[in-house]
Chain A
């Protein structure tokens, strides 16, 4: 069991190395798809069929949206030398981070032996109290419904934000003038556009 998980995780890491380092954007996006489908297999092996289903379908949508973003634009690689300072400093920082993470993961409960103080109560009383046989749904929609409400709010906000970004022009005429300029406005632009105030 643990050996198979190790194998799948190593496969995920190889997939993400390819996704990060390859030049072509389209093959990079497809490598991310490989990582995501692998993740859903791991979820299925860890006894989480709910998340596995969700991960598969979400991964399909992520692939479609990302391919849509890259396929019509140019997907040539970005030329030019790699900046030395961000590269070296990030490598040093991530080395330190991994070192501390190695000590930190010694402290948390071992793999396969969770603490489950609250969850045992949920498992014991959940099906009886809520009437739902699926304990994950019982937690999601009854014990911790506030979380789901917050999730719905975040989804709603992000969709509205994407609409606002993608729209062609504002409803008022003034925005049409404003659309041509971007960045910080010059003084004369401010005078021109906001004369009425």
Chain B
């Protein structure tokens, strides 16, 4: 019996084993769909915003089904804030790189052939940056709301506990 089986059998946290088993199968499909929506945003309906929210909702599903420890082990608070900041930073940096061709947000990469995955210059890169940013920030705000404040200042609470001991 591996670790995931034990998590599923454990009824003390999260929802019932039925929900956990379904979540186990569904979560991979949701993540793949979110990644598809982000990566093909310039060819089909979708884009960074929709895909990012789908990825964030997969984490929300994980939190609701398995409890907050499982979700935090997949993406911790530090990782979430780093991803959030790096997404926003990547957006600005790609915009600034446009100065190599002339002006802010100049599409400096080659356009490529239309209807291909690697085409449209820097638009897929911007989609990925927005998707990462939206995923991380919405996941972080959901965790902060569901744990209500203890998420960001775990370190401070740890110090307090040490001083109490």
Contact with A along B91-122 (1 / 0, CB 8 A): 11001000000000101000110110001110
**Shortest Cβ distance from A38 into chain B, in angstroms?**
18
Which chain B positions have C-beta within 8 A of A1?
none
The interface size bin for chain B is 35 or more
A138 to B42, CA, bound (A): 7
Contact with B along A39-83 (1 / 0, CB 8 A): 000000000011011100110110011001100000000000000
A55 to B112, CA, bound (A): 31
Tell me what chain B mostly uses at the interface: helix, strand, loop, or mixed: helix
A141 to B107, CA, bound (A): 10
Which chain B positions have C-beta within 8 A of A153?
88
Assess whether B149 is in contact with A130, with CB atoms less than 8 Å apart.
Answer: no
Closest to A159 in B: B137
Residue from the list B42, B46, B91, B144 in contact with A166, Cβ < 8 A: B144
Which of A106-164 touch B at CB < 8 Å? 127, 130-134, 136-138, 140-142, 145-146, 148-149, 152-153, 155-156, 159, 162-163
Which of B20-45 touch A at CB < 8 Å? 37, 41-45
Assess whether A159 is in contact with B141, with CB atoms less than 8 Å apart.
Answer: yes
Interface membership of A191, Cβ < 8 A: no
A49 to B56, CA, bound (A): 20
The total of interchain contacts (Cβ-Cβ below 8 angstroms) comes to 130
Assess whether A152 is in contact with B111, with CB atoms less than 8 Å apart.
Answer: no
Assess whether B84 is in contact with A132, with CB atoms less than 8 Å apart.
Answer: no
29 sample A-B contacts, Cβ–Cβ < 8 Å, listed by A number = A52-B45, A53-B46, A53-B50, A54-B53, A58-B53, A61-B56, A127-B114, A130-B121, A132-B42, A132-B119, A134-B41, A141-B126, A141-B127, A142-B105, A142-B107, A142-B121, A145-B105, A146-B105, A148-B91, A148-B126, A149-B95, A152-B91, A156-B88, A156-B133, A163-B152, A166-B148, A166-B149, A168-B150, A169-B153
Q: A134-B44, A167-B153 are in contact. List 20 more A-B contacts (CB 8 A).
A: A53-B37, A57-B50, A57-B54, A130-B107, A130-B121, A131-B112, A132-B119, A132-B120, A134-B47, A137-B127, A148-B91, A152-B88, A156-B84, A156-B88, A166-B145, A166-B152, A167-B152, A168-B150, A168-B153, A171-B156
Q: Could you tell me which A residues sit within 8 Å of B by CB distance?
A: 49-50, 52-54, 57-58, 60-61, 64-65, 68-69, 127, 130-134, 136-138, 140-142, 145-146, 148-149, 152-153, 155-156, 159, 162-163, 166-169, 171
Q: Could you tell me which B residues sit within 8 Å of A by CB distance?
A: 37, 41-47, 49-50, 53-54, 56-57, 60, 64, 84, 88, 91-92, 95, 105, 107, 111-112, 114-115, 119-121, 123, 126-127, 130, 133-134, 137-138, 140-142, 144-146, 148-150, 152-153, 156-157
